[in-house]
Chain A
Amino acid sequence: MEKARPQWANPLQFVFACISYAVGLGNVWRFPYLCQMYGGGSFLIPYLIMLVVEGMPLLYMELAVGQRMRQGSIGAWRTISPYLGGVGVASVLVSFFLSMYYNVINAWAFWYLFHSFQNPLPWSVCPLNGNRTGYDAECEAASSTQYFWYRKTLNISPSIQESGAVQWEPALCLILAWLVVYLCILRGTESTGKVVYFTALLPYCVLIIYLGRGLTLHGATNGLIYMFTPKVEQLANPRTWINAATQIFFSLGLGFGSLIAFASYNEPSNDCQKHAIIVSLINSATSIFASIVTFSIYGFKATFNYENCLNKMILLLTNSFDLEDGFLTASNLEQVKDHLASAYPSKYSEVLPYIKNCSLESELDTAVQGTGLAFIVYSEAIKNMEVSQLWSVLYFFMLLMLGIGSMLGNTAAILTPLTDSKVISSHLPKEVISGLVCLISCAVGMLFTMEAGNYWFDIFNDYAATLSLLLIVLVETIAVCYVYGLRRFESDLKAMTGRALSWYWKVMWAGVSPLLIVSLFAFYLSDYILSGTLRYQAWDASQGQLVTKDYPAYALAVIGLLVASSTMCIPLGALGTFITRHLKRGDPAPVA
């Protein structure tokens, strides 16, 4: 007798699993950046339109496919059409790439979390130089938070060619991160179902606490007003719409196979339409909520830096002109500067190169995304808060919960097809398969703990999933609508859930969403081709800032391999099935 498929203990676990998978680091470190760059408050318009037009339909489709086929991505697409097994394989491969590099972020979050239990926080002070008369040169050139990130955490090399050795501290944290993930996925839905209560809910608790703290910080309103002020002219910029579509697409985690895997453990009568709408709405609401918190933190940091800059200028002028201490304040600075320029022109011209125009706007304009935002900007803001250890622990714990929640989805996307396959699961128990996947990913992940590891991380982050996913989801939509047949799928859903399919979903699946994906795909391809050679940002220790460099040939080859390996799975899978069928048909052919 066949073992019954494991199921979620209740539908709430399924919803929480989807939420904790979809709500990830991208909501915290990518959406605020996009919102700031593409028009502030007015970015919400294209974002919400894309949510309704692209996000909800595609999410519903993936959940429906998973729930209907009751198998992981490979089996599900093979059931839809035997030639489409390659789509599932492509999903598994992309998920594998993602889990390899994504867990490194969790390792870094662990590293910062463990270092938060010190007073003062290690990234708030520069270490002393050799003879203790001043601070370390690199730290002086950059800032203490940047120094801690680039030197102490990553120990980054000046370019991608200089790989350096594996750093044992991040390597240990990576092993710990994989152990935690293994612990959560060990028993399949039984263990995952319980863990997702925490990974879904705890980040919201921390975000609410941070919202309270953030809004009461000095200067928070500066950030909020600046970022959310709508710049309506950005709506005419096509990049705004493209970025909104891209953000919705990747934020929901479509195409990896995780949603199919999660839905396959559902009861067939589960109302996945309702869940799809809930999950996508919660995901977008979390992005907006997180950006409120981020912008108040930005405002605090910008105001702090602005006031520091003013104080430095005041000190500089007071010392150069021997003015009375306390005479210069922020309010009379400009007048006094003009007076000094006219009264002592020669001395003023000596001091002129050192005088900076302190501007709150330019501080607010520094838009950062990605690991830079999460680990540099936030930690810089945290070190200036009172009881900074507490805020630091809370923040990195939240990052961990978000990251682990997404990892659970990624590993589910890889493991569900493996455990579904009778060949593998008959020989190895579930625990061993999970252990092997974690072990292999961890071993490859050691690549990212080397000195040049962050550069490889950026390669994987930018290229491993982007183009391939667009293609995968496009093929999925076309497969469901035209290969399997929209009417057949509609009747399946009605038989399964008892609800009729609204015309809205049909229009979106058959027409609008594939068109959107094709346009996104075309845009990205043309962008890559037009921009010529690909470049990356390398850290220059002597200057204390990032410099742009070209990728060497072998790095470009790796990028090409990453994209090609997953996209080629689709045609190769179709070709393979075609050949095997042809051979089977060809063999017993009777000789005339």
Chain B
Amino acid sequence: MLWPLFLLVTAIHAELCQPDAENAFKVRLSIKTALGDKAYAWDINEEYLFRAMVAFSMRKVPKRETTEIAHVLLCNVTQRVSFWFVVTDPSKNHTLPAAEIQSAIRMNRNRINNAFSLSDQTLEFLKIPSTLAPPVDPSVPIWIIIFGVIFCIIIVATTLLILSGIWQSRRKNMEPSEMVDAEDKRENMITVENGIPCDSLDAKGGHINDAFMTEDERLTPL
């Protein structure tokens, strides 16, 4: 007696979940590409987890908190691995609108990806575009900072070179007038002998060498 009912239920399920059915989405997984040697096989238990994740996402939508795992139907599982899924309402007669499912999946995409150790590229929901992460935009672009630093260094170096050139030419201009006053200023010039300024030798003061008797002492002062 239960057989007709079972057949009916299966038939309805079959109608609800079909490729390109209304409100159905195709999912594609690339497990080997993502995980290489650590790839897991796709079996019924993985399907159960998937259905659980979809049900979890739908439960976060207001008015759909009563979604159960049994409401999520999978069909046409291929070797790829790819399949179609729909989410039915509690009466199991209608499928939930695509827009709701889409927004629910988008909100929880990260959790779904993490449950399978996959990413947006390896766990694809066709027709559900993923939100791309915006690039980090600092308030001041980095290149302007570096530009400013180098610009200031160059300006400082140029100014120093120009100024030192001006000082040098001023000193050259002042040299002819200095030659005239040289004799007056000779005592102010620092004489250098063997690289040592004579001042430090204290030529004016001198050291008294006691080995020599000074002339003054031998002669009787006048």
Contacts and interface: CB of A to CB of B under 8 A. Distances in A.
Interface of A: 110-111, 114-115, 117-118, 125, 127-128, 132-135, 172-173, 176, 179-180, 182-183, 186-187, 191, 318-319, 322-326, 429, 431
B157 A183 contact: yes
A172 B135 contact: no
B134 A322 contact: no
Given A114-B146, A183-B158, A186-B158, A322 B132 contact: no
B147 interface: yes
Interface of B: 28-33, 39, 78-82, 129, 131-132, 134-135, 142-144, 146-147, 150-151, 154-155, 157-158, 161-162, 165, 169
Given A132-B134, A191-B161, A319-B80, 10 more contacts: A133-B131, A176-B151, A179-B154, A182-B158, A183-B161, A186-B161, A186-B162, A186-B165, A319-B82, A429-B165
Nearest to A129: B132
Contact of A117 (B79, B142, B155): B142
Contacts of A172: 147
A22 B7 CA distance: 87
A322 to B, nearest CB: 4
B151 A179 contact: yes
A493 B161 CA distance: 37
Contacts of A132: 131-132, 134
A68 to B, nearest CB: 30
Contacts of A319: 28, 80, 82
Given A322-B78, A325-B29, A431 B132 contact: no
Contacts of B78: 322
Contacts of A318: 80
A329 to B, nearest CB: 11
B79 A322 contact: yes
Contact of A326 (B33, B129, B157, B162): B33
Given A128-B134, A132-B134, A318-B80, A176 B154 contact: yes
A175 B31 CA distance: 53
B32 A326 contact: yes
A152 to B, nearest CB: 11
Contacts of A128: 132, 134-135
Contacts of B32: 325-326
B30 A325 contact: yes
Contacts of B143: 111, 114-115, 117-118
Contacts of A431: 162, 165
A316 to B, nearest CB: 13
Contacts of A173: 147
Contact of A133 (B81, B132, B147, B155): B132
